Structure 1
Amino acid sequence: FAGLSLYFEDSHDDMDDFGFDDYGSDCDGIRITAFLDAGQDNLTPLGRLEKYAFSENVFNRQIVARGLLDVLREFSENENDFISVMETVARMSEDGEPTVRAELMEQVPNIAMFLHESRPNFPAAFSRYLVPIVVRYLTDPNNQVRKTSQAALLVLLEQGLISKADMETKVCPVLLDLTEPASDDDYKIEAVAIQNAFNAGSSFMCLQCFLKDTFFELCSDSLWGIRKACAECFMMVSNSTSPEVRRSKLSPLFINLISDQSRWVRQAAFQSLGRFISTFANPSSTGLHFRDDGTLPDIPRCVSDSNCSLNSLNCNEISNCHTERSIPHTPPNQDGRATPSPEHVSTAESEDLHNFEDDHTSVLGEPHDNFTLTVRSDSSTATKSPSITKGTEQTDENFNSFHYWRSPLPDISGELEMLNCQTSVEVTEKEEKEEEEAEELEENCPDSKSSHGKATSDQIQKVLDCLQPHIADPDNVIPQPLLDQYLSMTDPARAQTVDTEIAKHCAFSLPGVALTLGRQNWHCLKDTYETLASDVQWKVRRTLAFSIHELAVILGDQLTAADLVPIFNGFLKDLDEVRIGVLKHLYDFLKLLHADKRREYLYQLQEFMVTDNSRNWRFRYELAEQLILIIELYNHRDVYDYLRHIALTLCSDKVSEVRWISYKLVVEILQKLYASRADDLGLDFINELTVRFCHCPKWVGRQAFAFICQAVVEEDCMPMEQFSQHLLPSLLSLSTDPVANVRVLVAKALRQSVMEKGNVCRLSALEETVMALQSDKDRDVRFFASMEPSKGLMDTAPFI
């Protein structure tokens, strides 16, 4: 603790002499700006602020720094007073006491947010008064002040409060100076660490300058701590560079860091390796994209093998293949951006090549612009897709690497209109002439259709043969040395020479690497994944279990069924620490499987009821939550036969939280049965609920029955006629229960839910019961029985 500065080093005995007699030893629970109140000194509030801001007592100056936000609120209405306060802040920033400077810097983000929300001239005031303080404190000799300013700078960047001009003219020059060879080693490490957290959108130009002049040199710095800091921020740097720089400049640098002589540098590099590889991902090659919320979309499950393709290629990707038939590239939109590539367009039909030859022949002269190719890694198939229609679902690729980095295309719409006017007559005459020649050729050559179809298939086969070596080549996606180093992370020798948890880092980043390589290169990672899945460390297997559903989305249903399902089955029999990862995303994984494969897991859901530690109630709680989601994946008969029994068992759990989430599961099952028109099964389930809960000897069971009845009504799980016939009589019978907590929920269910529906068969009996509850001896029962339905928002948790 020798390096820690104390905030309160001075004695508080002389506080009365400086106006803080009301504070005592603890000033956190009082108004900080009390020193601005009128006193015996006959000074104005601004005068008192000056007095205490530059007092000889350090504690006084700390209090003023801590209360600067409240001071600004007091004086924000008057422009002159506001400027005076900001000038005082600027002078206080030069205080010789480090604790005062650190206290002031802690308030800068709050002050900046207040100015941003209340001052129309925020950019000017912030840039003039506060940004220089933040920048100056980055080079403060006191370590605590520097750390505080770094944290404040990152908060300001995250909130977008620092302008791009201030970043490039004030912040970045200081950071560049800190990385000079003559700079202190601690300053260099801190500067690189700040770069690690920079937002590329707000500091992009500055970062490019940083990369160009300094970063490459820092990666080879003689101090291992600086090289380690560079390795830690490599992913951020890669995200802010062009693909060319990423491949040609950053990759060799990263390979050097992985082979560094310092173990700590190698450790940081290997921890960042998977994240660095993920920056090479391109939607046009992976066939996947992220939604706005950062999640991967579900892959539509294929009906049969012949309709499933593992990779789709844009036509302009095969323009270098020499074929007799030209395939036009995708034209750009009017705004200069390319149209989304065909791999993101849902195809309505997909057929084998044989069917394509026989059925999809065309007459001579018919345009061939409406053909797109879909290539599988395991077989050569082609699909004929119509041109992109209005209703076709597409993915916006405006922000992929290609579209982001290429220069905007010039607007040539005016020239095109003039050209079209000049050539329209010529084109019309040419088309008519071609149609006449085609008709004559068909009459003279009756076998032209079949020969044309044969030629088309031959041309397609040539294209496929040309593409095949490149489709499965991972070196086209990421540099091969990076992939080799990543695959070596499962080598036991790495754990001894680099990091004992290197396998865990490999497992954590594997979905990102798989997304980058694409499913067509999954064979490169398959052995590594299986090695990690059988690792002796349960933390490694746990990491894979938590991400297996994401990997299933990336690979698609065929590879998931072949390679992931066996590993998934192994995780189901693993330790609870591993099983919880599978359980938390059980619904997400099962919904990606075929119906027949998914149905096999109905028999294994019961196994989740058994845990290594019976006190681990959160495991059972998670199971109930997942079962609520899983209900939609199975038919009503399977739900009744398998999930019903698990739900009823969970309803009898010793832990209240598990029981109450299980009651919601029961309601969902009941809704599933009646939605599927399985009224007979629904009636059997109601009778079972009545016996188990309404007639339960324990009051918690009877209380649960009242809760279930209310939820059934609110969720419209069944027609009110059947509710009135099968559930309402039992619910009314609980109105005389000896336990007040049961009657409270009965009163709430009847008054807030059942009476709101109106179409109740036993309305007279219902009204009599409610009136009786309104006269109940218990105050809480009377309250809920008399509350208006529109005000029935009070939580009844205290009665549970």
Structure 2
Amino acid sequence: MAGADISLTYDDCPDDLTDKAFEQGDCSRSSFAEEADDDNFFNPLERIQQCLNSTDSIIRQCLASLLQNIFKKTPSAILTKELPEIMRILTKVTDDDFLQENFLEKIPSIAAEALANSDRVEALKDVIGDYLLPVVVRNLGWSETGINLAAKAVLVEMMEKGYVTQFQAEVKVCPAILALQNQLDVNTSAITLMSKFIRLLGKDIAERILMKRFIELCSSHLFYVRKLAAWQFGHYCAIVGSKVYEESLLPCYLALCEDDMWTVRKACAEVITFVSCVCPSELRKSLLAPAFGKLLRDKSKWVRISACQTLGGFIATFADPPSTKIAYDISGDLVLMNLEGDYFIQPPCKDGFSNVVTMEEAFMASSTEDGYLHYYDDLEKGACNEVTDLDSSELGGRPKSCAYNSGAFVEALVAFNDLKLDGYTTEAGCSKENGNANSKIETETKNELDGDLLAYNQHNYWYISPPELDLNELELTTDGGDQGDLNESSEDVVICHAQKLPTKIELGSDEIELLDDRPNSVQPCSDNKGDNLDNIVSDNGNVSSSTTNEIKGPTQTIVPQYLIDSFLSMANLSGRPHGNDMSVHCAYSMPAVISTLGREYWPLVKDTVRALACHLSYRIRRSVASSLCPLAVILGSEIASEDLSPLFVDFLADLDEVRIGVLNNLFDFLHLVTPQKRDSFAGKLGILTRMNSIWNWRFLQTFAEQLTRCVHLFSPADVAKWLGCMYAPSLLCEKVAEVRLAAIVLVSEVLKRTNADLTLSAKLLTLLSKKYAHGTKWRMRQTFVLLCTEILKREALSPQDFASAETGMLSDLLELSWDPVVNIRLGVANCIVKHLITNDYFVSNHLDALSEVLRRYEADKERDVRMAVVDAV
């Protein structure tokens, strides 16, 4: 070819130099790096100087590749002599802003090449510590965000790969990080940087060098520094020893839990699980639990919300023996990990708590109680220059002139007014009597008010009063026939939701209590600040009476009872701001809490689990559905069969988003319940084939796969009746091929389970022959061919049964060898070649019929069919 001689390297491309064309960059870089191997043309030092002095920016970017080639190809004597000057020149690369980030990203590759050739060139052993590491450290905290992030990433990578020794880290890395801490008003990300490196530096360096500075940061006069320090507590708890933890970290953490700024207390609530993981049991109960109880009753709404979100994980740390430990995920973030290696990650809330609190934080100090807005004078002194570590809205100072020319300020005030934060009341709000959360607010009759004016308010202005009815004149019928129309599941739902009916009616600023004669009725809480979640936990640390029924069950001493009461109260916060999100966290953490308490204390949480299972929000029901199997493992077979099975049946008829939680663990759950209860489920699983969306084919695929695993859990008769004749045929007819393939595996397992008595599967075999082998649609006939292949592959039927006239499988398969559809003939050819002629029984008894098909396929008009049988013939 004439084009084969065209060179791929272009020495002069003037039209592309200004545009930095992609093609030229690759060509120039490749050519320039390869020329470095020719030591007769230029020595290494001259090549480095030529690269740095080039006017072509693309060539200057080849510096890292050129240096690696020099380490690899240059003779030892020459490289040893010129290496100090080469590295001295390279350390000045950071003076060129254009090359800084590019060169930093290549430093790990340069370090790897230096170590790889250090045996050949002794001088390369000191390149990392003497030259490369100082370049990286010098760029930490750089004003350019891209360079700063690149330096952090490179330093982490070098330490993870072992390029930096412990001595180098202590002498060169730690002083640089501590120096950044002295400029916190300019670079607050240094706190996060120090915490990220602590796991790489090790316990000894962390305790000797970094711990003292961290304790100082926790007592900084800047509130946002204390908040960042509180967020990083988990990293230090995971690395330091028990003595340092008990003498330094724990007292410091408890002090931050009492901080004047609510943002600091909120950060403490978010990291409580990591602090508790390494805390001794006695200190956890005597110090941590009371401190966290105060956070649950904090005067700030957002602190209480964060405390409720982490309450389940905190309770899980009380398990004895411990069932969780601190670990790092693939990205280097702290997570809780159980003994099986699964991560416990708190689900995020969608209400944007963090964004809301930063707005509040920028406008006022929540620690004040005088009702006026206050400025943060220290906010204007320092600001974070890195968005990833601290939102600029948290640290951005507000102009004292307060001169906002747009409507954003008005919208902010409106949103701020809607928050109704603690310490700020509105004129229409209800007062709290004596600060007691359990006192009742009674309506006062004011005779001096005009009746018309009293009725004229936003709630009842358009309200038309109904005619009064005499209840004595009403006859209530209680026919047994009418009651029989209500099934058991509907009764459970009615009872569940009846407990959530309101016990008072709000009229403006007044409240009228409803007379409730229901058994176990819930008394209304006196605190009328539902909008700011005061009623999640009462002031005395006990569960609010307006959010949960009286808990009945054995007394436990594993976890402080007020924590359990607070956790269970989160299950019934419907209708309150963020109430559903609290219930989501409760449902998500429920298996961990039950695992901590143990099965003997299941009565304490049983009613709460039922309430969550019939919650109006599908997100909460989905969490409960997904946790049924873990709960069954924890509680055992008897409790799972008695208490969890009704929930399982209800979830089968729920939304697809909820049912998928049950479906993914269908086999595991059925395996855990008793055989009697399991047999009762066989006829109820068909409801899973009824989907809310016809496009949700993966749901049916999962259903078929789970049924395949469940085949051996049921008796052969139930397998043939339900899985074989009821569920499998509908799955075999699906339009999506993946569903049909999963159904084919299911049918083969059904036949294998019932092959001892072919009378059980006679109905299924007749259906397969009539509807599929002789079907009018080619897709049905192809499914039958694939099914025959799968049956032979899995040995679901013996060769004698497969070829018998009773099953008719072989005769139907050979009849389909004449099918006009190419894919069907191809499937028959593959089945014969791979599974029939390789079996001694078929060769001995049906060789003539099989050979005839193969000879006919050898002359088939389709090449794929001919190629499929060529080896066999």
Determine if the TM-score, normalized by the shorter chain, exceeds 0.5.
Answer: yes
Classify 1:488/1:713 alpha carbon distance in 2 versus 1 (closer, same or farther; 3 Å).
Answer: same
Classify 1:493/1:683 alpha carbon distance in 2 versus 1 (closer, same or farther; 3 Å).
Answer: closer
Q: Are the equivalent residues in 2 in contact too, given 1:196–1:232 (CA < 8 A)?
A: no
State the partner residue of 1:797.
none
Q: Distance in 1 between matches of 2:248 and 2:852?
A: 85
**SS of equivalent residue, structure 1 residue 696:** coil
Q: Distance in 1 between matches of 2:840 and 2:85?
A: 64
Instruction: Give the gaps of 5 or more residues in structure 2.
Output: 1-10, 208-235, 325-336, 345-552
Q: Are the equivalent residues in 2 in contact too, given 1:225–1:265 (CA < 8 A)?
A: yes
Aligned-pair distance for 1:600?
Answer: 1.4
1:607 aligns with 2:639: no
Classify 1:687/1:636 alpha carbon distance in 2 versus 1 (closer, same or farther; 3 Å).
Answer: same
1:563 aligns with 2:562: no
- Report the AA paired with residue 281 of structure 1: A
- Report the AA paired with residue 487 of structure 1: L
Q: Are the equivalent residues in 1 in contact too, given 2:13–2:24 (CA < 8 A)?
A: no
State the partner residue of 1:596.
676
State the partner residue of 1:552.
632
Q: Are the equivalent residues in 2 in contact too, given 1:747–1:781 (CA < 8 A)?
A: yes
Q: Distance in 1 between matches of 2:787 and 2:106?
A: 51
Q: Distance in 1 between matches of 2:595 and 2:135?
A: 43
RMSD of equivalent CA atoms: 4.8
Correspondence for 1:507 among 578, 584, 587: 587
1:673 aligns with 2:711: no
- Report the AA paired with residue 35 of structure 1: F
Render the CA deviation track for 1:253-276: whole Å, top value 9, x for unaligned: 545555556655554443333223
Q: Distance in 1 between matches of 2:277 and 2:205?
A: 12
Q: Distance in 1 between matches of 2:616 and 2:764?
A: 45
State the partner residue of 1:616.
696
State the partner residue of 2:318.
280
Q: Distance in 2 between matches of 1:495 and 1:80?
A: 76
What are the residue-to-residue correspondences of 1:31-430 with 2, within 5 Å?
Answer: 33-38=30-35, 42-44=41-43, 47-49=46-48, 51-52=50-51, 61-62=60-61, 64=63, 88=87, 91=90, 95-96=94-95, 100-107=99-106, 137-151=139-153, 184=186, 186-187=188-189, 190-191=192-193, 194=196, 207-208=239-240, 216=253, 231-240=269-278, 242-243=280-281, 246-247=284-285, 250-251=288-289, 254-255=292-293, 258=296, 263-283=301-321, 294=342
**SS of equivalent residue, structure 1 residue 522:** helix
Q: Distance in 2 between matches of 1:695 and 1:116?
A: 70
- Report the AA paired with residue 775 of structure 1: A
Render the CA deviation track for 1:142-199: whole Å, top value 9, x for unaligned: 3334444555566677778876667777666666666679565732663487389989
State the partner residue of 2:619.
539
Aligned-pair distance for 1:123?
Answer: 10
Q: Distance in 2 between matches of 1:76 and 1:275?
A: 58
1:742 aligns with 2:824: yes
Q: Distance in 2 between matches of 1:199 and 1:579?
A: 47
Classify 1:238/1:284 alpha carbon distance in 2 versus 1 (closer, same or farther; 3 Å).
Answer: closer
Q: Aligned pairs, how many?
A: 595
Q: Distance in 2 between matches of 1:515 and 1:56?
A: 67
Q: Are the equivalent residues in 2 in contact too, given 1:587–1:629 (CA < 8 A)?
A: yes
Q: Distance in 2 between matches of 1:80 and 1:248?
A: 68
- Report the AA paired with residue 235 of structure 1: T
TM-score (norm 2): 0.58
Aligned-pair distance for 1:637?
Answer: 0.7
State the partner residue of 1:783.
867
Correspondence for 2:815 among 718, 733, 747: 733
Q: Distance in 1 between matches of 2:290 and 2:749?
A: 56
Correspondence for 2:788 among 709, 713, 724: 709
Aligned-pair distance for 1:592?
Answer: 0.7
**SS of equivalent residue, structure 1 residue 37:** helix
- Report the AA paired with residue 690 of structure 2: V
- Report the AA paired with residue 656 of structure 1: A
Q: Are the equivalent residues in 1 in contact too, given 2:111–2:163 (CA < 8 A)?
A: yes
Q: Distance in 2 between matches of 1:539 and 1:779?
A: 54
Q: Distance in 1 between matches of 2:832 and 2:776?
A: 22
What are the residue-to-residue correspondences of 1:440-589 with 2, within 5 Å?
Answer: 474-475=556-557, 477-490=558-571, 492=573, 496=577, 501-589=581-669
- Report the AA paired with residue 605 of structure 1: L
Classify 1:182/1:707 alpha carbon distance in 2 versus 1 (closer, same or farther; 3 Å).
Answer: closer
1:768 aligns with 2:852: yes
TM-score (norm 1): 0.63
Q: Are the equivalent residues in 1 in contact too, given 2:588–2:623 (CA < 8 A)?
A: yes
Q: Distance in 2 between matches of 1:156 and 1:480?
A: 48
Q: Are the equivalent residues in 2 in contact too, given 1:68–1:107 (CA < 8 A)?
A: no
Classify 1:692/1:261 alpha carbon distance in 2 versus 1 (closer, same or farther; 3 Å).
Answer: same
Name which of structure 1's ranges 560-569 and 603-612 shifts more when overlaid on structure 2.
560-569
Q: Are the equivalent residues in 1 in contact too, given 2:312–2:567 (CA < 8 A)?
A: yes
1:628 aligns with 2:627: no
State the partner residue of 2:778.
699
Render the CA deviation track for 1:742-795: whole Å, top value 9, x for unaligned: 111111111122222233120232123223223221111122222579xxxxxx
Aligned-pair distance for 1:52?
Answer: 3.6
1:653 aligns with 2:652: no
Higher relative contact order (CA 8 A, sep 6+): 1
Classify 1:733/1:528 alpha carbon distance in 2 versus 1 (closer, same or farther; 3 Å).
Answer: same
Correspondence for 1:24 among 9, 21, 24: 21
Aligned sequence identity (%): 31
Q: Distance in 2 between matches of 1:671 and 1:572?
A: 27
Aligned-pair distance for 1:134?
Answer: 5.5
Classify 1:483/1:684 alpha carbon distance in 2 versus 1 (closer, same or farther; 3 Å).
Answer: closer
Q: Distance in 2 between matches of 1:247 and 1:124?
A: 52
Classify 1:480/1:136 alpha carbon distance in 2 versus 1 (closer, same or farther; 3 Å).
Answer: farther
Q: Are the equivalent residues in 1 in contact too, given 2:789–2:835 (CA < 8 A)?
A: yes
1:724 aligns with 2:803: yes
Render the CA deviation track for 1:321-373: whole Å, top value 9, x for unaligned: xxxxxxxxxxxxxxxxxxxxxxxxxxxxxxxxxxxxxxxxxxxxxxxxxxxxx
Q: Distance in 2 between matches of 1:258 and 1:93?
A: 55
Classify 1:534/1:679 alpha carbon distance in 2 versus 1 (closer, same or farther; 3 Å).
Answer: closer
Q: Are the equivalent residues in 2 in contact too, given 1:98–1:142 (CA < 8 A)?
A: no
**SS of equivalent residue, structure 2 residue 627:** helix
Q: Distance in 1 between matches of 2:779 and 2:821?
A: 10
Q: Are the equivalent residues in 2 in contact too, given 1:667–1:717 (CA < 8 A)?
A: yes
1:752 aligns with 2:784: no
Aligned-pair distance for 1:733?
Answer: 2.1
Name which of structure 1's ranges 127-136 and 698-707 shifts more when overlaid on structure 2.
127-136
Q: Are the equivalent residues in 2 in contact too, given 1:624–1:658 (CA < 8 A)?
A: yes
Q: Distance in 1 between matches of 2:574 and 2:258?
A: 25
Q: Distance in 1 between matches of 2:609 and 2:291?
A: 27
